[in-house]
A and B are shown apart, each in its own frame.
Chain A
């Protein structure tokens, strides 16, 4: 029973990781860029939503909506202003550029919002739970998991079933050849980056509702998202969902055995996957996104 409970809670935790990992996975799959500022962009969205809702008094749904649209814009600007200049060059260059961005965002947030921890208050919904056969399931984590699954499914369908998806896959495979047949690689990259940063924003808002956020919390979010992507298989969206679940369950079950090693067990599973299946769990069945 205790184990079952841990597995259920681990899956719910995995939902949070999956949401953070979705954008990271998408960007790596298409642009081959590891965006080290992904976690910080999420935290930026969280603080923006808190600022609009608690500070400016906007209704919560409107504040979140405004922030998500804003994040799409920031993503487009990020590509146009930074990544377009670094993609194609050595992969290390875009990595260092996003690392710098991560430092800038964290410290800028600290300057504006101070070091105080903050949260997005969802009222009763944030703390409500239902009991399913003796296992308590929080409504908020369940909603986050549902959003993560929806986002990844939607992305998967968009990439495999639409004309836009075809262009994205073509660009991901070979931007040169895609350009020959009239696909504007630069525009495709821009749209994908905007989507990925929008997803980071969604994940950041969900995180701010589940816990507290501090301006420098970004990199610790990035680590778990990155592990989920690698466990599942780089560039595979279903793999990312699976990787996030594996990581969440490993942490949760690990802490049933010993509360001091839950996070450690998660890291160990990550290393085990790297050692035995370096391409990730779903490497073969991978969607070439």
Chain B
């Protein structure tokens, strides 16, 4: 009965704390985010180090060798929605490199081995260490700090190169104890951070639908909620928005009356939520029942996957959310030979499911990993591959990823744009997310004008 968490405690929303602010807020944010990271690193320390250097297939005879990429991802558990695209992307990438890679005169076959983290930090560390022990040449991982951080910790401890995404970069970097003076050697990352969120939110709320600039925030009492309170709150206030914060509510709250009446009393016209999906749904339904309808509602953690918004019924369309990849982006995958639009179409045709934003990040993740193996010149040399990751600059479906100019070493901050959920005009799926603001990534075409919630 202790396992009563019906709900994703830490779905990946964009979140944590911006580093540069001031030291105190940085430490606070890092501490908040560090909880999962610490658990992961303990496990990594136990099981990971001894297996360092065991590259089993390195001595394979003849001109052909095999490169093994271990991919740890949540196929089940609360974050399973993020892993839905994995089988498709892995199949496409495997097909694209089926002729093998010729690097420095040797031809290498590539094998991608997928392991399920079950959305759980301990399981993620366990399967990462199993992959390391079996001698993989590189690890890749994606989707939420619960999976990404323990895998990256295991890789860093075992000195295996690792690339990751879909976890706010501050959580990956500060949450695992790095500082600009003491960065990581083997683990690299690309994803959005708090600054990218702030760009989208300021654009939506200050320059979008006219409103009174009063933002009611639904920031829960969990690691993400508190990190956002410390990191994003001051940025919004400085930008001229009035933040109405009724306080950190506990996850699993069933009655939002007091928060709704605070919003009503303060004349809030903009709502921002980092609540987990069931809590946001409870809040949003009670808000409708009690006659509170803001002009704008921008949600993180709930607005990423179409199923989560569909589950809100009539209250879903009109919500705005951050978008870290969209089929309309003018980008393409050189490896797959597909544009973003083609990639989404191919996925929908093959799987029967609607595209999700992870289709872009997962494709970019595997493409970048293969590019680093090639550019290292010596893909069995782990230090060479890690160094190659640090020098990588590549055009992917999520845009240009350039590790030589990131906010910190090891990290590329990916751009974010603002999207709005609307009822689809055609096609087999009920909802569609349209880009309504692109200040963080002007190459993304704006497809619709943002309008107030009715």
Residues of A near any B CB (own CB < 8 A): 2, 5-6, 9-10, 13, 16, 36, 99, 102, 110, 114-119, 121-124, 126-129, 131, 136-141, 210-214, 216-224, 248, 251-252, 255-256, 258-264
Contact = CB atoms under 8 A, between A and B. Distances in A.
Given A127-B315, A136-B291, A210 B4 contact: no
B255 A129 contact: no
Contact of B249 (A221, A223, A262): A262
18 contacts: A102-B1, A114-B80, A117-B281, A117-B308, A124-B314, A126-B313, A138-B285, A138-B286, A211-B254, A211-B282, A214-B277, A216-B6, A219-B4, A259-B249, A260-B250, A261-B250, A262-B250, A263-B252
Nearest to A251: B255
Nearest to B312: A119
A7 to B, nearest CB: 10
Question: Of A16, A139, A217, A248, which is in contact with the most chain B CB atoms at under 10 Å from its CB?
Answer: A217
B451 interface: no
B145 to A, nearest CB: 17
Contacts of B80: 114-116
Contact of A115 (B4, B78, B261, B291): B78
Given A5-B261, A114-B81, A214-B278, A258 B4 contact: no
Contacts of A116: 80-81, 305, 307-308, 311
A49 B282 CA distance: 19
A59 B77 CA distance: 31
B282 A115 contact: no
Nearest to A226: B1
B291 A211 contact: no
A151 B290 CA distance: 26
Given A211-B282, A214-B6, A252 B289 contact: no
B258 A138 contact: no
B255 A255 contact: yes
Given A115-B76, A219-B6, A258-B247, A129 B289 contact: yes
Nearest to B289: A138
Nearest to A129: B289
A211 B312 CA distance: 9
A102 B6 CA distance: 13
Contacts of A218: 6
Contact of B314 (A127, A248, A256): A127
B interface, by DSSP: helix, strand, loop or mixed?
loop
A126 B313 CA distance: 10
A20 to B, nearest CB: 11
Nearest to B264: A136
A119 B311 contact: yes
A263 to B, nearest CB: 5
B65 interface: no
A221 B6 CA distance: 9
A127 B285 contact: yes
Given A115-B119, A126-B313, 12 more contacts: A2-B258, A5-B261, A115-B78, A117-B278, A117-B307, A129-B289, A138-B286, A141-B289, A214-B6, A252-B257, A256-B258, A262-B255
B81 A115 contact: yes
B5 A13 contact: no
A13 B257 CA distance: 10
Interface string B315-353: 100000000000000000000000000000000000000
Contacts of B285: 126-127, 138, 140, 210-211
Interface string B242-265: 000011111011110111011000
A115 B79 contact: yes
Query: Which 10 pairs between the two chains have the least Cβ-Cβ distance?
Result: A138-B289, A217-B6, A127-B288, A259-B247, A136-B290, A129-B289, A121-B313, A9-B257, A219-B4, A212-B281
Contacts of B281: 117, 119, 211-212
B181 interface: no
Contacts of B254: 13, 16, 211, 224, 251, 263
Given A115-B76, A115-B81, A220-B4, A5 B278 contact: no
Contacts of B315: 127
A262 B220 CA distance: 13
Contact of A128 (B7, B77, B250, B289): B289
User: Quick one: which of B5, B6, B252, B308 has the most chain A CB within 10 A?
Assistant: B6
Contacts of B305: 116
Contacts of A16: 254
B3 interface: yes
A222 B252 CA distance: 13
Contacts of B66: none
A264 to B, nearest CB: 7
B291 A129 contact: yes
B221 interface: yes
A212 B278 contact: yes
Contacts of A223: 1, 4
B255 A117 contact: no
Interface in B331-380: none
B51 to A, nearest CB: 31
B262 to A, nearest CB: 8
A259 B248 CA distance: 7
